[in-house]
């Protein structure tokens, strides 16, 4: 994939808001780890993002190489919950698993 980022939007393909509303924070927490200072550090590959007033999750495509299993879990989560996946230009993206 050419894009360096994909965005999983918190809106279903049917146009309904995805619940729970804090799903982005939960996803970021799942991939977080504690630093040497004992503070929680989010993964550099996942970032909360607001796209068209919709809470979304920005996924750096480097995650696919660094953590293929984690990347696959995110894509499966999006597919199972029928969440929209777009590129930074707002175009729909299909990720083959």
pLDDT, tens digit (0-9, with 9 covering 90-100), for 31-41: 898 989 999 89
- E strand intervals along the chain: 5-12, 33-34, 40-41, 46-51, 54-60, 83-86
List, for residues 38-73, the tens digit of each pLDDT value.
Answer: 998 989 999 999 998 999 999 999 999 999 999 999
> Looking at residues 11-24, what average pLDDT do you find?
93
Q: Across the strands, what pairs with 6?
A: 59
pLDDT computed for residue 95 by the predictor: 85
**20 prior amide bond cis, ω within 30:** yes
């Amino acid at each position: 994939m050419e894009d360096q980022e994909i965005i999983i939007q918190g809106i279903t393909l049917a146009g309904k808001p995805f619940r729970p509303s804090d799903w982005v924070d939960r996803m970021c927490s799942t991939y977080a780890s504690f630093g040497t200072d004992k503070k929680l550090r989010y993964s550099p590959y996942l970032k909360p993002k607001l796209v068209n007033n919709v809470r979304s999750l920005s996924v750096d495509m480097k995650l696919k190489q660094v953590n293929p299993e984690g990347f696959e879990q995110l894509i499966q989560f999006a597919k199972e919950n029928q969440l929209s996946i777009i590129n930074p230009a707002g175009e729909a993206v299909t990720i083959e698993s």
